[in-house]
Chain A
Amino acid sequence: MLKKLLALTFIAAASIGGPLIAQEDSRQAEIAAGQDQKAADPKPVQQNKVERALIRFKEGTFLGRFSNGLGGFRLKAGGLAPGTGFGIGPEYRRNGLLGGELDFHASAQASFRGAQKFDLGLTAPKISGGRFFADFYAVHHDYPILSYYGPGADSQKTGRTDFRLEDTAVDATFGVRPINHLTLAASAGYLFNNVGPGTDSRYASADQTYSPAQAPGIDVQSNYLRVGGFAQYDWRDNASGPRRGGNYFAQFSDYRDRTFGLSNFRRLDVEAQQYVSVLNQRRVFALRAKSTLTFRDGAQPIPFYMQPTLGGSEDLRGYRPFRFRDDNLLAMNAEYRWEVFSGLDMAVFGDAGKVFANKSEFSLRHLESDAGFGFRFNARNQTFLRLDVGFSHEGFQVWVKFNNIFKKGPVHTSSTMGDF
């Protein structure tokens, strides 16, 4: 086909060019003849099927419709607790209510592994020009297959069981941004808990393996009133893909057992993230240290389902999710990232951490650790996909996540399971 077209074109050119050269001694005339020849047979601009499809895709703003929704509705994916399946379901979102001050959202999600999540939120993100914010959030989870490996750092991988957690949390938060980068907030809420047998047939149910002495609250559960507050100082250059700056926060919560009054405690979460870059930010060292400390009322135990957990895609990436639980936690992460091309950063990382019963054990000894590598896919300087592979003495884990490794800040409207 190409040869034919070429031959035809050259023949046409030669047949016109011959007489023209004989007749004219003018460059203008030569070019004009070419113009006349093309003007005699104009053709429309054509595009191939792939390009036309991509244009339709862009003009149809399918991605925009997917992310922004249609008529306020969109599909919400992900966000359930690790190991409970990929959650998907409808979300309704309306921004700019009450003269633009109030945003509303509600969603319902389920996974093929039987997990469910329903939530509803009302947020006024920018009161008085952004100086203040207010937030109301209610969420209900039903996670039928959450992992439990037994208490403490000495729990065994082979001790894996599962349990069902049903919880409902209702929280209200009010905050202020007194100066640039700094956020202060106070919150109050109520938490309803229910624990039952796990449904994963591969594992024993936690209540069959662990006694209430080992797993406090496995037999009876408490509801909690919680009040607290947090402070955050965030000077990262870009929250969606930081390369420079820091993010530091501390959150304190007082949990009052409103069911039996036998498991009151206070919880302090502190976290420091530091991003150091070199070579024009093409290399980034991302460092994070975090600790959760709990303070009991006397000898009152903290229910196992309220204990801090370690392991999974957010901290110890060489271990399974919720691999370790105890009253206190210490974790550290270090990542070295380098740009491969504009849409991809690679990373090598090392994680270390431990859970411990007594605060006297707060030290860098007896840490569990792992190492691994990962890929960070970016668009417009925002990480939209993270792939990590972590190796530990318990094997290796592969994580595909749609977020950064380190969370953006305190979860001032969390439920029992924190972020999830």
Chain B
Amino acid sequence: MRNTIFSNRPFTVAVAAGVLTLGTLGAAGIGARKKFYSDDPLWTMPRPRSVVNATSRTLSEYYDFFENTLFPPGQRAKHTGVSLPSQAINTVDEVPDSAWYTNRHGSRPMSLEDLKQGPGDTTPPAAGVWTVIAAKNEGVTPGFRIRDAAGRQYLVKFDPLSNPEMASAADTIASKFFHALGYNVPENYVVYFDRSRISIGGGSMLKDGSGKQRAITERDIEEMLAEAPRSADGEYRVLASRLIPGKPLGPFEYFGTRPDDPNDLVAHEHRRDLRALRTFAAWLGHDDSKALNTLDMLVKEDDAPYIKHYLIDFGASLGSASFMANSPRDGNVYLFDWKSSAVQFFSLGLYAPKWQRAEYPKLPAAGRFEYEVFDPTRWVPDYPNAAFRNENPADRLWAARKIMAFTDEEIRAIVSTGQYSGPAAEEWVAHCLIERRNKIARAYVTGTSALDGFEIRKDRLEYRNLAANAPAAIQIQWSVFDNNSGQQRQLPGERSFQLPAADGASYLMADLKGETGPGVSVYVRLKEDRKAVVGVERHFGSIQEMN
């Protein structure tokens, strides 16, 4: 099938489409290409090429909202109910390490300490004076940039008066989760400070509401602090986010590729790590996961500059909307949605969708966060984006497996980094995350989808079953697979998990079927010294071939 449409950015998409024929990882055999190369499955992307003349750019929030809401960009399936295959994955259906993503928890289990530490080396602002070097007194969350006594720079953001602890806890907790899930994020810390530690640096400037740059005054600091909650002992609690090293290039978009980045080969709307971000964002209630909350940084590795892609600003995660508690509609319906708006308009509000009847405990520090009404299959961010729209069942399954890797204990440990002063908020947030994790698992990891961790042990195909209710029976059929032609020759009668004898064959293929869930093809490379699984394909019927 070639039922695809193209965005209003033809060049970007055209380049991406062309590159796909070269660089799609794990694509089914195309023409005369081998299905598996000698280095498959690839777990790390090749060393990035040097980026010269990287363009720094800004993104208009209004444009991004209207474009994604009214004129969706990026390539996507034309018909509802079908989706395009994922890319930037390897032959075993996993995401290799790259400038976008690093396999962490879920692939390589992290210790409780590592999970709590998150990115960086645990460096909250040092004791001593904080020198304010820039500030903004307008926008959703006013705050300032400081330099601590050790010379490190941090963005400092406050909680709303109505919800002490809420945004700072959400920002910290979500950053740890996204880090453990594999994304690049800034180091975020909850810190307390006394007013006496703040001093204004010489030449520090503030951009006021009229766009005018002027020197920061003591009154500016006082006015910002006046709108910030204080603890019982008079200290201010803030979120300190350490500045990411490198040169900021502005946000990345959820579609197309950067034309100035030679390492950015796969259209973002097809990247699994961005598509599956929808399910991660759903779990963590990160409805503000828009392009504006991402950041491309030009960094150097061995003197070679390349672009590293970050997720930033998680203040609107969990039950927080940064400057207030979440609206009940957050995560349940877009800010603007034709269908739901029409229903409300014509029904005079007499129709009340389920999310409007959700119940929330009165915990200001937790904002509005719940799990009863939460439906991972229907969860939406504030407004659509091309990658989230393209998320297919394989992407969801991959994300669900990562989320299921978090135990209750690990979830509670990460939530504790939010430093809630009361146990009720901490307990509720952890409870919600555990229940939301379970819902995601129940929604996506069922039947044969639950089969994971394929490997050959003692000439036998072994796997793990991630679901509590294991499929009653898994049927298996072995074939010989020709890597050059893509042809398969069934081996009649070979219906056990023991590797069949296949003289002269280099590859075997096992087709696994159960009562429910997609069929799974597992490819085994036969070498004298080692027999190994090199390919895993899950055959979701709704995923169409890429043109």
| Interface presence of A400 (CB below 8 A) | no
Residues of A within 8 A of B348 (CB): 338, 346, 348
| Interface presence of A209 (CB below 8 A) | no
A283 and B14 contacting across the interface, CB-CB below 8 Å: no
Flag the segment in A10-18, A80-88, A108-116 that touches B: A10-18
Which among B6, B58, B360 has the greatest number of chain A C-beta atoms within 10 A?
Answer: B58
Residues of B within 8 A of A59 (CB): 58, 211
- Produce 1/0 per residue, B186-218, CB < 8 A to A: 000000000000000000000111111000000
Contacts A2-B6, A58-B60, A281-B328 given; does A10 touch B18 at CB 8 Å: yes
Q: Which of A30, A51, A343 contacts B63 (CB 8 A)?
A: A51
| Interface presence of B488 (CB below 8 A) | no
Residues of B within 8 A of A44 (CB): 53, 55, 259-260
- Produce 1/0 per residue, B49-67, CB < 8 A to A: 1111101011111110000
- Produce 1/0 per residue, A245-259, CB < 8 A to B: 000000000000000
B62 and A68 contacting across the interface, CB-CB below 8 Å: no
Interface size on A, residues (CB 8 A): 68
Residues of B within 8 A of A411 (CB): none
Residues of A within 8 A of B212 (CB): 70
A54 and B349 contacting across the interface, CB-CB below 8 Å: no
A342 and B57 contacting across the interface, CB-CB below 8 Å: no
* CB closest chain-B residue, reference A339: B344
B336 and A27 contacting across the interface, CB-CB below 8 Å: no
Residues of A within 8 A of B335 (CB): 341-343
Contacts A2-B14, A67-B209 given; does A341 touch B340 at CB 8 Å: yes
Provide the bound-state CA to CA distance between A278 and B229, in Å: 28
Q: Which of B22, B33, B42 contacts A34 (CB 8 A)?
A: B22
A35 and B263 contacting across the interface, CB-CB below 8 Å: yes
Residues of B within 8 A of A202 (CB): none
Q: How far is the CB of A125 from chain B (nearest CB, A)?
A: 12
B32 and A341 contacting across the interface, CB-CB below 8 Å: no
A55 and B58 contacting across the interface, CB-CB below 8 Å: yes
Q: How far is the CB of B394 from chain A (nearest CB, A)?
A: 19
Contacts A68-B209, A281-B328 given; does A35 touch B260 at CB 8 Å: no
* CB closest chain-A residue, reference B6: A2
Residues of B within 8 A of A67 (CB): 209
A13 and B138 contacting across the interface, CB-CB below 8 Å: no
Contacts A27-B37, A341-B337 given; does A279 touch B15 at CB 8 Å: no
Residues of B within 8 A of A69 (CB): 210
Provide the bound-state CA to CA distance between A28 and B37, in Å: 9
| Interface presence of B541 (CB below 8 A) | no
| Interface presence of B84 (CB below 8 A) | no
Residues of A within 8 A of B324 (CB): 381
Flag the segment in B127-135, B238-246, B350-358, B468-476 that touches A: B350-358
| Interface presence of A359 (CB below 8 A) | no
| Interface presence of B123 (CB below 8 A) | no
Residues of B within 8 A of A36 (CB): 49, 262
- Produce 1/0 per residue, B9-42, CB < 8 A to A: 0110011011101110100000011100111101
Closest 7 CB pairs of A and B: A338-B349, A61-B211, A9-B18, A39-B262, A280-B328, A43-B259, A54-B60
Q: Which residues of B contact A (CB under 8 A)?
A: 6, 10-11, 14-15, 17-19, 21-23, 25, 32-34, 37-40, 42, 45-46, 48-53, 55, 57-63, 90, 138, 140, 207-212, 219, 222, 258-265, 323-324, 327-329, 335-337, 340-341, 344-345, 348-349, 352, 355-358, 360
Q: List 8 A-B contacts (CB under 8 A).
A: A27-B37, A42-B52, A45-B55, A61-B210, A64-B138, A68-B209, A336-B349, A341-B335
* Known contacts A17-B21, A61-B210, A64-B208; 4 further A-B pairs (Cβ under 8 A): A39-B50, A42-B52, A342-B336, A346-B348
